[in-house]
Amino acid sequence: MLGELKDLVWALKEGPSGTGRARFGLFFPENPDKQEDQFPFQPYQSPVVQAEGATLDMGLGLFEANMRHALDNIRLLRRAKLELKNQYRPDVHAADIANLNWDQLTAAEKSLVPPLVVVCYKQKLPINFLAHLPGILAKPYPIKIVVLDSAAIEPETTPEIEFGLRHALLQAGQVSRQTSVFMGTAANPKIFFEGLMAGLHGTLPALLVLHCTDWEKHHWPLEKSHTAAALALNSRAVPFFRVKPQLAGPTRAASIILDGNPEPGKAWASMPPGPESGAITYAEWLFSLLAWKHHFTAIKEPNSTQIALDQYLLFPSEKREGKTPVFRKAEEGQFIDYAVSSTVVNACEAALSSWNYLREMAGTLSAHPQKLWEEAKTALSKEYEARIQELESGYAEKMSRMEQDFMDKTRVKLREKLLSLTKNNS
C-alpha cells in the first residue's frame, strides 16, 4: 500500500506531463480543431478528446471511466486513513471500500474527481444533442456542458427556429433541479464571471450558453470584442439568464434570475438621451452582420409614413399598412435613417418574443395576473350590476310605498277638509 500511495503522490504532483493531475477534462464532440489533436501537438494543458460525429453519451462514458480511476485512488486513501488509526479490518471494511460508488462519496472526495467540460457550438450541435442533454444533466456528476453561441443568424434562416433552439437548451437544463444554468455575454464581466464560475465549480452538472462572436460575420475588428458583447446584450440578441438551484422553491421561477439585463421590465432597452434616442432593438444587432446589409436601405427624403421600428412593432399587422419602419444609426458623426425590410421586422418580432419568453420563465412577465384581473373585474361588474338592480328595485318599491302613503294621507286630509266645510255651511 505504501508503494501505491507514493505512486498516487507522484501522479498528483507531476505525472507523465510534469504538470500533475489535470483539473478537468475537455471533450469536443465535433472536433473543432482540425490540427494535430494529440499531446503535445495541441494548445491544451488538460486531457482532450476530439471526436467528430460523437454524441453526448460518449462524454458520459469518458467521465465514468475517469471516475472509476478516481474511485480507485479514493479507496486507497480511505484504507490508508484506517490503517493510520490501526482500525482497518479486512472482514469489515474490505467489501465496503471495494463497493464504493459516487453516491457514497463525501463532498470533499467528490471534489477530487476532475469534472468533464463538453464544448460545442450551437450552430453545429452533436447528433441527437437535445435528446441526450436532459439525461446527462440528470446525472449527479460534474459534467459541464458549454454551448458557444455566436447569435449570428442568416437572413435565409427562420429566426423562430434559431431562438426556439436556445429555448429548448435552457428548458433541457431545467429538467433536473440540481443543474446550474447560465446564458450571457462578457458585456458585464462581473455577472459573466459569477455565472461561469458557479457552473464550472462544484460537483453538480451545469449548462453554460456563452456568447462567442463570429468575427467573420461582422464588420468590426477584433479589438471591438466588448462592443460586440455589449450590443448582443443590449439588443436582446443574447440576454443574461441564470438558474440557481439553491434558490429553488415551490415554483421553478423562484430559481431563475435575469440580473444584468438592461431595463429587464421593458420590451427593449432605451438609448441614452440624444439625437439617436429611442429603443435599442434587435435591428441594431442585425445591422452589425454583413449578411444583413442589403436589408437596410438608407432614406434620402423623410416623409410622413416613416415610423420608428420599436413603435412600428407595437402595431398589429392590419394597422401597419402604409407605414415604413425606420432604424436610425450614427455613422461618422451623422445620423442616418434606414428603412428595414420585412425580414428584419420578422427577426425583431422573434427576438422580442424570445425575450418575453425568458421573462415568463422568470415570473416577471405573465398573462396570468392579467387574466385574473379580467376575471375579477368581470365578477365585480356582475356583482355591482346585481347590487344596482337590487337597489333600484328596493328604491322603486320604497317610492311606490311612499307614493301610496302620500295619496292615502292626502285623501284623509281632503275628506277632513270637506267635512269641515260642510259643517261650516250648515
- The pLDDT-based confidence of 313 (bands split at 50, 70, 90) is very high
Query: How far is Cα 18 from Cα 337, in angstroms, rounded to an integer?
Result: 60
Same domain, 243 and 131: yes
- Average pLDDT of the segment spanning 286-306: 91
Residue at which a domain ends, from 368, 390, 413: 368
- Per-residue confidence (pLDDT) for residue 133, from 0 to 100: 92
- Per-residue confidence (pLDDT) for residue 252, from 0 to 100: 76
- The pLDDT-based confidence of 421 (bands split at 50, 70, 90) is confident
- Per-residue confidence (pLDDT) for residue 369, from 0 to 100: 61
Q: Which residues contact 237 (CB under 8 A, 6 or more apart)?
A: 151, 231, 282, 285, 351
- What proportion of the chain, given as a percentage, has pLDDT over 90? 37
For residue 263, tell me if it sits in a domain: no
The answer to whether residue 98 scores a pLDDT higher than 60 is yes
Q: Which residues contact 379 (CB under 8 A, 6 or more apart)?
A: none
Query: How far is Cα 12 from Cα 14, in angstroms, rounded to an integer?
Result: 6
Q: Which residues contact 199 (CB under 8 A, 6 or more apart)?
A: 144, 180, 181, 182, 206, 207, 208
Instruction: State the residue for C-alpha cell 468533464.
Output: 116
Residue at which a domain ends, from 235, 257, 279: 257
**What is the tens place of the pLDDT at every residue in 329-376?**
877 778 888 999 999 999 999 999 999 999 998 888 876 666 566 677
**What is the tens place of the pLDDT at every residue in 227-247?**
899 999 999 999 999 998 877
**25-34, 77-86, 312-321, 392-401: which has the highest mean pLDDT?**
312-321
- Per-residue confidence (pLDDT) for residue 139, from 0 to 100: 92
Residue at which a domain ends, from 326, 347, 368: 368
3 state SS of 212: coil
Output 366-371 pairs: Cβ under 8 A, ≥24 positions apart: none
Strand residues in 113-231 grouped as ranges (E): 116-121, 143-149, 180-184, 206-211
* Mean predicted lDDT score pLDDT of the chain: 83
Query: How far is Cα 97 from Cα 78, in angstroms, rounded to an integer?
Result: 8
- Per-residue confidence (pLDDT) for residue 31, from 0 to 100: 59
- Per-residue confidence (pLDDT) for residue 215, from 0 to 100: 87
Rg (CA), the chain: 35
User: How far apart, in Å, are the Cα atoms of 139 and each of 29, 118, 195, 272?
Assistant: 19, 15, 21, 46
- Per-residue confidence (pLDDT) for residue 370, from 0 to 100: 60
Return the half-sphere exposure (C-beta side, CA atoms, 13 A cut-off) of residue 271.
17
The DSSP output letter for 99 is T
Same domain, 282 and 406: no
403 or 275, greater pLDDT: 403
Query: How far is Cα 260 from Cα 233, in angstroms, rounded to an integer?
Result: 9
Same domain, 334 and 405: no
- Per-residue confidence (pLDDT) for residue 55, from 0 to 100: 83
CA 54 to chain CA mean position, Å:
27
393 or 248, greater pLDDT: 393
Same domain, 173 and 312: no
For residue 264, tell me if it sits in a domain: no
Same domain, 423 and 398: yes
**Angle between helical axes of 342-362 and 159-173 (0-180°, round to 10):** 20
User: What is the residue range of 149's domain?
Assistant: 2-257
Same domain, 245 and 315: no
Same domain, 106 and 214: yes
**Residues 188/214, Cβ–Cβ less than 8 Å:** no
Same domain, 57 and 142: yes
For residue 18, tell me if it sits in a domain: yes
**What is the tens place of the pLDDT at every residue in 4-55?**
655 555 455 445 555 556 677 888 887 555 544 555 566 565 677 777 777 8
- Per-residue confidence (pLDDT) for residue 11, from 0 to 100: 56
Same domain, 50 and 163: yes
- Per-residue confidence (pLDDT) for residue 37, from 0 to 100: 54
- Per-residue confidence (pLDDT) for residue 143, from 0 to 100: 93
Query: How far is Cα 296 from Cα 301, in angstroms, rounded to an integer?
Result: 15
- Per-residue confidence (pLDDT) for residue 192, from 0 to 100: 95
For residue 102, tell me if it sits in a domain: yes
**56-65, 104-113, 278-287: which has the highest mean pLDDT?**
278-287
130 or 39, greater pLDDT: 130
Buried b (16+ CB within 10 A) or exposed e, 243-268: bebeebeeeebebbbbebbbebeebb
How many helices and strands (H and E) does the chain possess? Answer: 12, 14
- Per-residue confidence (pLDDT) for residue 43, from 0 to 100: 59
Same domain, 158 and 204: yes
3 state SS of 308: strand
Sign, CA torsion 133/136/138/142: negative
Which CATH number do you get for residue 42?
A: 3.40.50.970
For residue 420, tell me if it sits in a domain: yes
Q: Which residues contact 276 (CB under 8 A, 6 or more apart)?
A: 328, 329, 330, 335
- Average pLDDT of the segment spanning 196-216: 92
**Enclosing H/E stretch for 331:** strand 324-331
For residue 81, tell me if it sits in a domain: yes
For residue 389, tell me if it sits in a domain: yes
Same domain, 207 and 317: no
Structural domain count of the chain: 3
Same domain, 311 and 399: no
User: How far apart, in Å, are the Cα atoms of 292 and each of 158, 218, 351?
Assistant: 14, 10, 16
For residue 353, tell me if it sits in a domain: yes
